[in-house]
Structures are given as C-alpha cells and as structure tokens.
Structure 1
Amino acid sequence: MNTSHLSNELEAFLEYISVTKALSQKSIEAYMSDLVSIEEELKKPLINLDTKNILSFLSRYTNKRTLNRKLSSVNAFLDFCYKSHFSEQKTKQKFAKIPKLLPKFLTYEEFKNSLKLIDRSSWLGLRDYALLMFLYASGTRISECLALELQDLEDDWLRISHAKGEKERIVPIAKVAIQAINEYIKEKPKDTLKVWINYKAEPLSRISAYKITQRYLGVSPHVLRHSYATALISGGADLRVVQELLGHSSLLTTQIYTHIQKQDLKNTVEACHPFA
C-alpha cells in the first residue's frame, strides 16, 4: 500500500493495525479504504475533522450496515489517536440503529402440506421425509442433525452430544419423527454409523441437507429450528424451557422469539376489543 499520501496519524494507525494488532490483510485494507476515502474527499487529515464533517460525509451511505462499518473504522482510528496522545479529546461516533430482523419460520400447516410433495416409495424419499420430520421435531442445528447416530436416540429422547460449545443436552422428540426415522433405517441400503447418508452411502453433507429443505420447503434447515421454537412459544411454552431445548447459552438469544407472544396479544386485541 502506498503510504506517501497519508497523514502522519493515519500512517501510524496503519502501522499499529499491521504490526501491533497483526490484523489480516483484508481487515487492514477495509480499515484504510474507509479512512483514506474520508481524508481524500474532505482534503483534511481525519484527526482535524470535527464530528459534523465526518457525519456529513458518511450520511451518503443509506445502508445502515455499511454506515456502521465505516463508523467502526472511524471510532477505531479516533480511539487509537486518543490513546497515542495525538488527540486530547476522546471521541466516539454513535452507530446507526438497525431494526432487528424477526426469524423466518414455517407454520405447521405450511410444513405439513409440503411433506405431501415427498415420494416415499424409495429409500431416498423416506430419508428426505425423516430428515424434515426430525429437524421440525427436535429444533437441532443442522450440524447437530448431521452428526446423529442411532445410539443418540433412546425411546422418545434425543441426546445431542455434538452441540455448539461442546454442551450435551437431552431433548424429547415426537414419536412420529422416531417412526419416520425407523422406516427410513429399514430401507437404508447400508448400515452406517451416521443416520443420514447420501446416495453413495456417505455421510450427508450440509449442502445436500440444504438442497433437501430447499426442494420441499423453500427454506434453509435453520428455518426449521426457528419453526420448532415458534411452535413451542405459540403453544405457551416457557421461554427458559425453549432456551434449554435449543441449547442457547443465554436467554437473550432465545428472546428473539418473544415477537410471537406479542403478535398473539395483538391478534387477541384486534379480534376482541371494541376499538379494533
């Protein structure tokens, strides 16, 4: 990178993130691209620009995620300048608020109707049906699902020992899902350690699992995890119980599903209140 045109402070920041912080080349280029563009456009060292100048320049970015990335670069640089005594003022620009995206999910009716598309006359069709049933009945991550071995299923319980963060959890699983798996296992052409296999009798890959859920449901496997949680919350399940079933380490992660409860309350008011 040509540093001859950089301000002294920006050149020092470049050395800091390259040598001291040892960031990746991609991260370094992202930082410098954001910061250099401001200096070049406004024809002033970034450290001499006030908040109004900076925000005025960044206001051209209507995409809030892009804006926040650039604000992050500016904040990192200004923090470096303050700690390096290039600046006496500790400045931090506020990030733009990004609305939380509600998790996409399928209703039970949508899920049930899509299962009718599966031809279960072949073992591959039985596998696809069992896989979708298992994902909807267990709420597992796709990595946990694909790691499934027969020994992990006992009666109506599923032991997930390959969970994120190496945490083991045990969750109940519906009999209809167990039945679908058993029917698939009976027709499975080869006895393998892993439950889910492809047509070559090799362990099913994440890409193949994605193609299966896309083919029949038009969604990714993770949407079935959201659908599982949404169905539980809609049915009145306690948030902490859902947290344990999903294997979330923090209740904050599970709280994204509280929108279901709020929507139920709204629907009730709209249906029952005279002002609705």
Structure 2
Amino acid sequence: MSNELEAFLEYITVTRALSKKSVEAYKSDLCAIEKKLSKPLICLDTQKLMSVLFSYKNKRTLNRKLSSVNAFFEFCYKQHFSSQKTKLKFAKIPKLLPKFLSYEDILSGLDLIDRTNWIGKRDYALILFLYASGTRISECLELMLGDIEEGWLHVRHAKGEKERIVPLAKVAKKAVDEYMFASAINKEYVWCNYQGGKLSRISAYKITQKYLGVSPHVLRHSYATSLIRGGADLRVVQELLGHASLLTTQIYTHIQKQDLKDTVEVCHPMAKEKI
C-alpha cells in the first residue's frame, strides 16, 4: 500500500469519522487497483487507470470504484500530494424506481405469522418496526433496550456514525413490547435469535423473505414511499431516513410523479381520447 493511500485511509477514519464498513470499502477498492497495476495509485495516468476500472462490466460496481478513486484524488490534491485535480466521470445508469410494498401487501404478509410463540411475535414485531421506522437493517439490528423511549427511536449506529431520532408508530412499539415480554430472555440487544444472541443480517433477511418475499431494505423504501404518497415534505423524509444529501431522497419524487400521471390517465377525459 502506498504512503498516499495510507494517509487517505487515516483521513477518512479519523478526520471524517466514516464507519468501519465504509473505510474497508474504500481500502478494498483502492488497494485492488494498486495491486492490479503494481504501482502506487497516484502515479497512474488516467488512461491506464480507466483501462483497469472499465474491466468492471457492472455499472454500479464501476461507479463505486470511481467514487473511491475520485475521493482519493481529491484528498491528494488538497494535501498537495498531486498538482493535478483529477475527477473521473461516472457511468450513466438508468434511474429505476426503488422496489416497495403497499401497506396492504405488508398486512397480508403479517397475517401469515403464527404469533402463538415468541419467535412469531419477534418476526411480526421486526417487520412492523422496519416499516414504521424506515431504519436500515444494520441500524435496526444494533437497537438496544434503551433506544426506544416514549414513542421515539434513537438511531445510534447510523450510516456515517450520524445519530438521529425518529418517531415510532404506537402499533409498532406495542408489537415490540409484546415480543420482548414473551421472549423473557436476558439480552443486551432488542432483536435476538432463539439462543438469545444478537439476530444476524441473514436471519433478518430470511424473516422478511419468508413472509413478504423481499429483503429488509424494501421495507425502508416502503416507509419512504408511504410518506411521500401521504404528502410528506421531501426534506422531512430526508431527515427521517438519515440521508446526508437531498439528492439521495429525490428518487422518491418519481413515485409522486407517477401517481400524478396515473391519476390524470384515469380521471381526465382527454387522456382516454384516441388520436
């Protein structure tokens, strides 16, 4: 690993205080490029660098690598390690609407859960909690006993280590309380497996997949979609989701536009005219 790369990793770890997973992602991306060309990243010209990057056929993967490289070069320029301000263009990716479920879809899935035992109560509470809070699954699984208080959820392990507080619907809080009471396990974390240990991401995935046929992240999209369709302000949704940039939240405006288009096509007489 080059000295410049070591300095960059120290910068994003200490100064920017990025999460451990984010730092590992940057390290993995940038070290892999240096290793492929057997030269320090800062010494590579743009043409050689692009030849390596474009070996990644998946555009989303490519853009993640480009993001890492651009962040590194920006750091090097600001620290005067490089006299050139290099910024590589991202590959164009068609905007796709995030997959989401309607409230009715979620209720149908919840009806399938056998709540006569504490495991069933846990699965029921987990799904309701994810839909009612919009938390990332990583944030959800880090939830500790004191993080829900008087209808508010304190998200302590947010992306980028940024904490936030969001309201939690009473029905979700009640489901969590019922699960906690039924489990009767002395535990540190709210969500646990049948042995009392912390619930894993794969187990959470299996739960939402079993009853809803989707990943836990789809419930986060469903939460945001429900808010936008209900008339919530985009900046409020940004705050609730914990997005650093409003640009990330703006994907949900496409849902709003599609709703308006569908309404006009159904309700306006001219929309049905054939020319």
**TM-score, normalised to structure 1's length?**
0.70
Count of matched residue pairs: 234
| Preserved contact between residue 189 and residue 201 of structure 1 (Cα < 8 Å) | no
CA gap 1:31/1:270 in 2 versus in 1, 3 angstroms: farther
CA gap 1:21/1:237 in 2 versus in 1, 3 angstroms: closer
| Preserved contact between residue 125 and residue 172 of structure 2 (Cα < 8 Å) | yes
Percent identity, aligned pairs only? 67
Give SS of 1:171's match: strand
| Preserved contact between residue 234 and residue 249 of structure 2 (Cα < 8 Å) | yes
| Preserved contact between residue 71 and residue 95 of structure 1 (Cα < 8 Å) | yes
CA gap 1:190/1:21 in 2 versus in 1, 3 angstroms: closer
Instruction: Read off the aligned partner of 1:275 and give its amino acid letter.
Output: A
| Preserved contact between residue 152 and residue 165 of structure 2 (Cα < 8 Å) | yes
Instruction: Read off the aligned partner of 1:115 and give its amino acid letter.
Output: L
User: 5+ residue gaps in structure 2?
Assistant: 7-26, 39-44, 51-55, 68-81
| Preserved contact between residue 137 and residue 228 of structure 1 (Cα < 8 Å) | yes
User: 5+ residue gaps in structure 1?
Assistant: 1-16, 33-46, 55-60, 73-83, 85-91
| Preserved contact between residue 146 and residue 204 of structure 1 (Cα < 8 Å) | yes
Give SS of 1:275's match: helix
Q: 1:27 pairs with 19, 26, 33, which one?
A: 33
Q: 1:80-133 CA distances to partner (integer Å, 9 max, x unpaired)?
A: xxxx9xxxxxxx997653202221111111111011111111110000000000
| 1:205 CA displacement | 1.2
Q: 1:21-48 CA distances to partner (integer Å, 9 max, x unpaired)?
A: 689663246569xxxxxxxxxxxxxx9x
Instruction: Read off the aligned partner of 2:32 and give its amino acid letter.
Output: K
Measured in 2, the distance between the counterparts of 1:212 and 1:262 equals 32
| Preserved contact between residue 158 and residue 172 of structure 1 (Cα < 8 Å) | yes
Measured in 2, the distance between the counterparts of 1:207 and 1:185 equals 21
Matched residue, 1:262: 257
Q: 1:207-241 CA distances to partner (integer Å, 9 max, x unpaired)?
A: 11111111111111111111000000011101011
CA gap 1:188/1:96 in 2 versus in 1, 3 angstroms: closer
| Preserved contact between residue 97 and residue 255 of structure 2 (Cα < 8 Å) | no
- Greater Rg over alpha carbons, structure: 1
Measured in 2, the distance between the counterparts of 1:232 and 1:70 equals 33
| 1:71 CA displacement | 10
Aligned pair 1:238/2:233, yes or no? yes
Q: 1:184 pairs with 157, 179, 187, which one?
A: 179
Structure 1 vs Structure 2 CA RMSD:
3.9
Measured in 1, the distance between the counterparts of 2:63 and 2:181 equals 53
